[in-house]
Amino acid sequence: MFNIEDGFATTRRRILKGAVTAALVGLGHLSWRIAPALAAAGDKYPEEAFKAKGDADAIKALYGKTAEPSDKVNLDAPEIAENGAVVPISVSTTLADVTSISLLVSENPNALAASYRIPAGTMPSVANRLKMAKTSNVIAIVEAGGKLFSATKEVKVTVGGCGG
Amino acid sequence: MASTIRVRATSSGEVTEVQALIQHPMDSGFVKDAKGDLIPPHFIQQLTFEHAGKAVFVADWGTAVSKDPYVKFSFKGGNKGDDLKISWIDNKGESDTTTAKIQ
């Protein structure tokens, strides 16, 4: 009796162990297959998004989803830019798990101006200088926890930055 | 040739603040020269900052970034004396790399 039960238990354990190993191997295989794809997507320059004309198309090309306005996105841009060639613009946010920050100028020939990737450990804050063809809305997009949040501000341009 | 990249990285102990200024025409392709011909686009597409072998900030840029671009960001970690590697590549395949010491 004892021997039989013992044998049964051992077999059961072996089967369980086998199942766990198979599951682990399966998981390992899966993550190995996903990881390079993610890395490739993260490193690639988003050419199509930068070629898109309008802001909505550019956001769709870059992220594949739409953004909702949020007062947790702080967009700092001048009310009036005397020189559209150099408009100082900065973005910061109190949102957690930020993975990227992008800036769009709606009325520019190509709306997407810059997109910044924020790895873990980097502050969700960036300052830069952009060109503006004419008076336009500037849109800041913050990608946080897989969702998109935006802030919009109109900047009046006295002299355009595209040589016109 | 002198580097096109000027960078200042200062550590406050907990956070390193990075400011970079790069010499580049950032031609948009929408501007005409004196003869009325379009100046072809020539702009930096990607600018990467690496600390301890890890990318701490990656900028993807289009033509709307101003000439001689400026960017500022900060990251957690980074000690005085650490290396910060900065590199860019533009749409013509030109590139530059420099390494700065965190101050």
CATH of the domain at B57: 2.60.40.10
For residue A14, the model assigns a pLDDT of: 58
The neighbouring-strand residues paired with A147 are A144
Structure tokens at B18: 């990075």
Domain containing B57 equals: 5-101
- The alpha carbon of residue B42 is apart from the nearest alpha carbon of chain A, in Å, by 14
Contact B64 A131 (CB under 8 A): yes
Local confidence band at A160 (pLDDT 50, 70, 90 cut-offs): low
Q: Which residue of A has its CA nearest to B90?
A: A45
CB contact under 8 A, A114 and B62: yes
> Nearest Cα to B59, choosing from B86, B28, B92, B31?
B86
Name the closest residue on chain A to residue B69, using Cα atoms: A129
- The per-residue pLDDT for range B10-29, each reduced to its tens digit, is 999 899 999 999 999 999 99
Task: Tell whether B94 lies on the interface with A, counting CB pairs under 8 A.
Answer: no
CA-nearest residue to A114 within chain B is B61
- Chain A hits for B42, CB-CB cut-off 8 Å, are none
Nearest to A144 by CA among A91, A106, A105, A104: A91
DSSP string spanning A84-98? TT-EEEEEEE--SSE
Neighbours of A70 (CB within 10 A): 18
Q: What average pLDDT does range A12-16 have in this prediction? A: 55
**What tens digit of pLDDT does each residue of A104-129 get?**
999 999 999 999 999 999 999 999 99
Indicate if the alpha-carbon torsion angle A37, A43, A44, A49 is positive or negative. Answer: positive
pLDDT given for residue A39 in this prediction = 39
Higher local confidence (pLDDT), A3 or B52 = B52
Place B7 in a pLDDT band, splitting at 50, 70 and 90.
very high
Class of residue A156 by CB neighbours under 10 A (exposed 0-12, middle 13-18, buried 19+) = middle
> Which regions of chain A does DSSP assign to beta strands (E)?
68-69, 73-76, 80-83, 87-93, 98-105, 112-117, 125-130, 136-144, 147-159
Q: Which of residues 33-62 of B touch A (CB under 8 A)?
A: 45-46, 54-62
The residues, ordered by sequence, that sit 6+ positions from B73 with a Cβ below 8 Å of its Cβ are A116, A122, A123, A125, A126, A127, B17, B18, B49, B57
Least Cα separation, residue B99 to chain A (angstroms): 19
